[in-house]
């Protein structure tokens, strides 16, 4: 049997291929990166805020290197857009001739803690040139960001002095000569390393070891304290402790409010772009609401015409579903951009997809009895003609127009993902998952889920059965006629069933008919086609006796006439090969029965001739 299923794996594989093609993929080449140094400069202001600059030396093998993550960065870091990368030879001569800009973004905080139960450190991702990246060589990366040290408790007063405790980045590779320069407000007392705090708690990982070399350069308004450690430990933050004059601080002076901490995402919108974003959100709302309404109209019209009842995933009036889907989609996209995590936005996008989606329709005709009709013989060309391709549905992947629009939607989504990835890869991945809104429109409520045309859907299976039966009977030396027949209901001009009538050339007495049909059954998302063989015989005849060995396995019921029996036989497997084999066996039994009847008739005639000759001699 030819079972036509929904084949969702084709849609899923095509979608995966489209997303893989459209998403900016990471480099597949081998890359080996080692950190050779990280010189830090912390410029502390009087209000307790600071501007941190990292000068990171990278040794790249293989490549290209597209990005690198800085783990252990300050949680409230606000990256500045003036970062760049330059080859080490140019950095040594302070040349920016070969410098390339880099983009930075704060990554979302991981939801799971580390194995030891401690929270995961904050991280900032540095992205290099999207086309080339960093090839093999030694490079120096300059990145800067702002942070609030006093408000986070990293700068505290201790009598007339102030203590600064600051931890650097966590590197998987240790390196030699970790350097940090603290630029502090000038005060009467010169700054110095806080070796006393390290001696009080030498087992603390955050305590600076006493083997720190320091260099002090005092100026009119700023003091510079350069600290040098012989090495940076592997997988541990580099911590620094500094004491300086507390009178240099002015923490009560007015200052700007700190920027939101660790919110991964694009920078705040400029005022001239807010109107553009509002217009884009309005267009997205109207467009998706109209698409949901159009999809609902298409599904309802096609379902009613096919004798089925449409079933939205969320049963609600059309206006509520269309408007709610548009609002949920736009609100979900806005929350994905505004919030640190995309959970709330993703839930709203999923709600929009649920409002647009449809379940498999309920068949109305499957549970109703059909009325009387007339069987008409037709030619094989007319019965087995190719069915017309489904048309009339724009938001359906089973039609050509639907495939084209679905591909266009994937392309536009891919362009949007690529555009957002230039600012934030995190939000680009969220937008890629929002493809579920398109899947709900194009991959649910399909024409393939509706009750199929009973004639067109049975034709491929019956054509294969006819071909196999004709070939098998010809090989066995039996001639049969195969006649396709349509059933046309009274009061209708459209056939509702197709059967094959198989007629042996010399049938047995009592043979009323041998037919092959297909029973359509609604299945999950598609239609199950089960072939059946119907044998009609007259009770108490040679035909019933000849086929009794196989008809016991079938289901017997009363035929069209009181003396007629109709036996329904089902092949072991619902395939054309098994169905043709069952029909061939029945034809063979009829042939053997005919031969046996002819032999019995010949013996009977011979006996009559012998009896007549003996009566003649006696006379």
Does residue 11 lie in a domain region?
Answer: no
Does residue 9 lie in a domain region?
Answer: no
The CA distance from 231 to 238, in Å, is 9
The per-residue pLDDT for 258 is 44
Asked whether residue 149 falls in the same domain as residue 104, the answer is: yes
Asked whether residue 64 falls in the same domain as residue 187, the answer is: yes
Asked whether residue 436 falls in the same domain as residue 515, the answer is: no
Does residue 13 lie in a domain region?
Answer: no
Asked whether residue 440 falls in the same domain as residue 467, the answer is: no
Between 425 and 151, whose confidence is greater? 151
For residue 26, pLDDT beyond 70:
no
Between 261 and 281, whose confidence is greater? 281
Q: What percent of the chain has pLDDT over 70?
A: 81
Q: Give CA 138 to chain center in angstroms.
A: 40
The CA distance from 482 to 505, in Å, is 11
> Which of 285, 188, 177 is CA-nearest to residue 231?
177
* 8 A C-beta contact, residue 163 and residue 92: no
Structure token digits, residue 258: 């700190």
Please provide residue 371's backbone torsions phi and psi, each rounded to the nearest 5 degrees. -85, -175
The residue-averaged pLDDT of 463-487 equals 87
* 8 A C-beta contact, residue 125 and residue 65: no
Final residue before a domain boundary, out of 396, 422, 448 = 448
Structure token digits, residue 435: 């493809």
Q: Taking all residues of the chain, what is their mean pLDDT, rounded to a whole number? A: 80
The CA distance from 440 to 357, in Å, is 5
Which has the minimum average pLDDT: 13-22, 268-277, 278-287, 310-319? 13-22
Asked whether residue 557 falls in the same domain as residue 439, the answer is: no
The residue-averaged pLDDT of 423-428 equals 77
For residue 22, pLDDT beyond 50:
no
Asked whether residue 467 falls in the same domain as residue 443, the answer is: no
The residue-averaged pLDDT of 582-598 equals 80
The CA distance from 356 to 434, in Å, is 13
The DSSP result for 133-152, as a single string, is -B-SEEEEEEEEEEEETTTT
Q: b or e along 217-256 (b: 16 or more beta carbons within 10 Å of the residue's beta carbon)?
A: eeeeeebbbbbebeebeeeebbbbbbbbbbebbeeeeebe
The per-residue pLDDT for 238 is 83
* 8 A C-beta contact, residue 161 and residue 244: yes
Q: b or e along 330-362 (b: 16 or more beta carbons within 10 Å of the residue's beta carbon)?
A: bbbbebbbeeebbeebbebbbbbbbbbbbebbe
The CA distance from 149 to 164, in Å, is 8
For residue 611, pLDDT beyond 80:
no
Please compute, for residue 173, the number of CA atoms within 13 A of its CA located in the half-sphere on the CB side: 13
Q: Are strands 31-44 and 175-185 parallel, antiparallel or unpaired?
A: parallel
Highest mean pLDDT among 348-357, 385-394, 590-599: 348-357
Which helix (H) or strand (E) segment holds residue 88: the answer is helix 88-92
- What is the SS3 string spanning 482-535? EEEEEEEECCCCCCCEEEEEEEECCCCCCEEEEEEEEEEEEECCEEEEEEEEEE
Asked whether residue 150 falls in the same domain as residue 35, the answer is: yes
Asked whether residue 415 falls in the same domain as residue 485, the answer is: no
The per-residue pLDDT for 40 is 92
pLDDT digits (tens, 9 = 90+) for 434-451: 999 999 999 888 887 777
> Which of 240, 229, 145 is CA-nearest to residue 197?
240
Long-range contacts from 495-501, C-beta under 8 angstroms, 24+ separation: 495/376, 495/454, 495/455, 496/370, 496/373, 496/454, 496/455, 497/454, 497/455, 497/458, 498/383, 498/454, 498/455, 498/458, 498/459, 498/462, 499/375, 499/462, 500/462, 500/465, 500/466, 501/377
For residue 206, pLDDT beyond 60:
no
Asked whether residue 465 falls in the same domain as residue 548, the answer is: yes
The CA distance from 215 to 296, in Å, is 75
What's the Cα-to-Cα distance from 593 to each of 547, 549, 603, rounded to whole Å?
8, 12, 15
Which has the minimum average pLDDT: 85-89, 308-312, 347-351, 609-613? 609-613
Does residue 256 lie in a domain region?
Answer: no
Q: How many helices (H) and strands (E) does the chain have?
A: 14, 25
What's the Cα-to-Cα distance from 18 to each of 6, 406, 427, 458, 476, rounded to whole Å?
20, 11, 19, 34, 53
Q: Are strands 237-245 and 103-106 parallel, antiparallel or unpaired?
A: unpaired
pLDDT digits (tens, 9 = 90+) for 509-529: 888 888 999 988 777 666 778
* 8 A C-beta contact, residue 212 and residue 227: yes
Asked whether residue 320 falls in the same domain as residue 239, the answer is: no
Host domain of residue 589: 454-606
Which has the minimum average pLDDT: 209-213, 259-263, 483-487, 535-539? 259-263
Highest mean pLDDT among 109-123, 508-522, 572-586: 572-586
CATH number of the domain that 154 lies in?
2.60.40.1730
The CA distance from 545 to 566, in Å, is 14
Structure token digits, residue 77: 């870091």
Between 114 and 566, whose confidence is greater? 566
Which has the minimum average pLDDT: 266-270, 327-331, 561-565, 613-617? 266-270
pLDDT digits (tens, 9 = 90+) for 399-412: 888 889 999 989 98
Asked whether residue 278 falls in the same domain as residue 219, the answer is: no
Bridge partners of 184, per DSSP, are 223
Rg of the chain over all Cα atoms, to the nearest angstrom:
41
Read off the pLDDT band of 153 (50, 70, 90): confident
Do you know the residue count of the chain?
619
For residue 338, pLDDT beyond 60:
yes
Read off the pLDDT band of 329 (50, 70, 90): very high
Asked whether residue 171 falls in the same domain as residue 299, the answer is: no
For residue 476, pLDDT beyond 70:
yes
The per-residue pLDDT for 604 is 58
pTM of the predicted protein model: 0.53
- Number of compact structural domains in the chain: 3
Does residue 12 lie in a domain region?
Answer: no
pLDDT digits (tens, 9 = 90+) for 382-391: 888 876 666 6
The DSSP result for 420-469, as a single string, is HHTT-HHHHHHHHHTTHHHHHHHSSS-GGGSPPPHHHHHHHHHHHHHHHH
Does residue 199 lie in a domain region?
Answer: yes
Between 531 and 203, whose confidence is greater? 531
The CA distance from 268 to 337, in Å, is 10
Final residue before a domain boundary, out of 448, 478, 502 = 448
Final residue before a domain boundary, out of 448, 465, 490 = 448
Please provide residue 289's backbone torsions phi and psi, each rounded to the nearest 5 degrees. -65, -40
């Amino acid at each position: 049997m030819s079972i036509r299923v929904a084949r969702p794996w084709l849609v899923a594989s095509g979608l995966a291929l489209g997303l893989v093609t459209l998403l900016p993929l990471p480099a597949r080449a081998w890359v080996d990166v080692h950190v050779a140094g990280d010189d830090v400069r912390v410029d502390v202001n009087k209000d307790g805020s600071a501007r941190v600059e990292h000068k990171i030396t990278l040794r790249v093998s293989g490549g290209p290197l597209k990005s690198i993550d800085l783990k252990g960065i300050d949680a409230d870091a606000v990256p500045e857009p003036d970062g760049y990368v330059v080859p080490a030879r140019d950095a040594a001569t302070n040349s920016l001739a070969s410098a390339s800009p880099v983009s930075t973004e704060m990554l979302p905080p991981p939801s799971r803690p580390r194995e030891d139960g401690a929270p995961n450190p904050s991280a900032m991702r540095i992205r290099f040139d999207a086309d080339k990246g960093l090839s093999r060589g030694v490079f120096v990366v300059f990145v800067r960001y702002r942070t609030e040290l006093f408000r986070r408790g990293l700068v505290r007063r201790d009598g007339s002095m102030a203590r600064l405790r600051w931890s650097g980045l966590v590197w998987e590779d240790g390196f030699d000569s970790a350097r940090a320069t603290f630029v502090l407000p000038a005060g009467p007392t010169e700054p110095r390393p806080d070796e006393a705090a390290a001696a009080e708690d030498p087992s603390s990982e955050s305590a600076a070891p006493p083997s720190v070399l320091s260099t002090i350069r005092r100026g009119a308004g700023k003091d510079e304290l350069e600290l040098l450690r012989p090495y940076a430990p592997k997988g541990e933050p580099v911590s620094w402790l500094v004491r300086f004059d507390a009178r240099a601080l002015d923490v009560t002076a007015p200052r700007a409010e700190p920027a939101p901490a660790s919110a991964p995402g694009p920078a705040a919108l400029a005022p001239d772009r807010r109107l553009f974003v509002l217009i884009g959100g309005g267009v997205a709302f109207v467009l998706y609401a109209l698409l949901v309404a159009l999809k609902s109209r298409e599904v309802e019209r096609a379902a009613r015409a096919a004798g089925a009842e449409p079933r939205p995933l969320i049963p609600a009036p059309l206006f509520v579903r269309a408007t709610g889907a548009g609002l949920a989609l736009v609100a979900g996209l806005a929350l994905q951009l505004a919030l640190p995590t995309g959970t709330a936005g993703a839930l709203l996008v999923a709600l929009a997809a649920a409002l647009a989606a449809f379940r498999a329709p309920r068949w109305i005709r499957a549970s109703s009895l059909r009325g009387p009709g007339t069987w008409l013989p037709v030619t094989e060309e007319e019965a087995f003609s190719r069915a017309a391709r489904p048309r009339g549905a724009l938001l359906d992947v089973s039609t050509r127009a639907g495939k084209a629009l679905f591909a266009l939607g994937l392309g536009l989504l891919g362009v949007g993902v690529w555009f957002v990835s230039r600012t934030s890869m995190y939000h680009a991945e969220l937008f890629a998952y929002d493809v579920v809104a398109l899947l709900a429109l194009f991959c649910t409520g399909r024409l393939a889920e509706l009750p199929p045309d009973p004639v067109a859907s049975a034709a491929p299976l019956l054509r294969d059965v006819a071909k196999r039966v004709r070939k098998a009977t010809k090989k066995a030396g039996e001639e049969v006629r195969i006649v396709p027949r349509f059933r046309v209901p009274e009061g209708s001009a459209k056939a509702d069933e197709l059967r094959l009538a198989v007629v042996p050339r010399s049938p047995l007495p009592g043979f009323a008919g041998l037919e092959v049909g297909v029973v359509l059954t609604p299945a999950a998302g598609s239609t199950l086609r089960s072939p059946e063989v119907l044998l009609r015989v007259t009770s108490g005849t040679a035909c019933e006796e000849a086929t009794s060995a196989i008809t016991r396995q079938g289901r017997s019921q009363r035929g069209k006439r009181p003396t007629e029996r109709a036996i329904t036989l089902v092949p072991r497997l619902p395939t054309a090969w098994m169905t043709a084999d069952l029909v061939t066996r029945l034809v063979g039994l009829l042939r053997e029965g005919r031969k046996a009847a002819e032999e019995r008739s010949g013996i009977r005639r011979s006996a009559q001739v012998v009896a007549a000759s003996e009566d003649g001699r006696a006379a």
